[in-house]
Amino acid sequence: MNNYKIIDEKTWSRAIHCAIFRNYIEPNFCVTFEVDVTNFYKKIKAQNLSFTLSMVYAVCKCANDVENFRYRFLDDKIVLFDKIDTAFTLLDKNTELFKVVNVPFVENLQDYVELAKKISDAQKEYFTAPLGNDIFQCSPMNFLTYTHISHTISGKKRYFNANF
């Protein structure tokens, strides 16, 4: 688990909003929009990097840069993580089933892509463990065009996670 600090709800400016939504089954919302990634794609391909793994990195890097995306519930307290790691789905072309790959977030694009490839190539299981609370979940599907995706929600209260 990543480092975090416990937030004092008595002085936290977002406490009133948290109190309203903290017991909702699905206290999140989804925003979708199209993004032109042409220049990003050219840059990634020029570096001979995986587009899918690079996109997971880029989205999670941006999300990690936003403090409000790093708040979570932990032991019924609100905490702010220093960083949030990644989990992404990856299709196994042999079985046509996906596996969920957990990769610690690292700041450098090339280092992240290399680590993600190493972990995903070595992982034979489809699911290695329940996802931690300090995870951004990604479902990269660069083989199709879509404008919305929702992840399954366990129904647990005090669930707060970002899906990309």
**pLDDT at residue number 76:** 86
**Structural domain 4-138, CATH architecture:** 2-Layer Sandwich (3.30)
User: What end-to-end distance do the CA atoms of the chain give, in Å?
Assistant: 20
User: Tokens 């957990």 map to which residue?
Assistant: 102
Tens-digit pLDDT profile for residues 58-105: 999 999 999 999 999 898 899 999 999 999 999 888 888 899 999 999
C-alpha angle with apex 39: 99 to 142, nearest 5 degrees? 25
**pLDDT at residue number 164:** 46
Tens-digit pLDDT profile for residues 13-60: 999 988 888 877 777 766 777 888 999 999 999 999 999 999 999 999
Residue 146 has pLDDT above 70, yes or no: no
Reported as a pLDDT band with limits 50, 70 and 90, residue 132 is confident
Residue 155 has pLDDT above 80, yes or no: no
Bridge partners, residue 5, by sequence: 80
Longest dimension (CA), the chain: 53
* Interacting residues of 71 by C-beta distance below 8 A, sequence separation 6+: 7, 14, 78, 79, 80, 81, 160
Would you say 99 and 92 are in contact if contact means Cβ atoms under 8 Å apart? yes
Order of all β-strands in the sheet with 85-92: 97-103, 85-92, 135-138
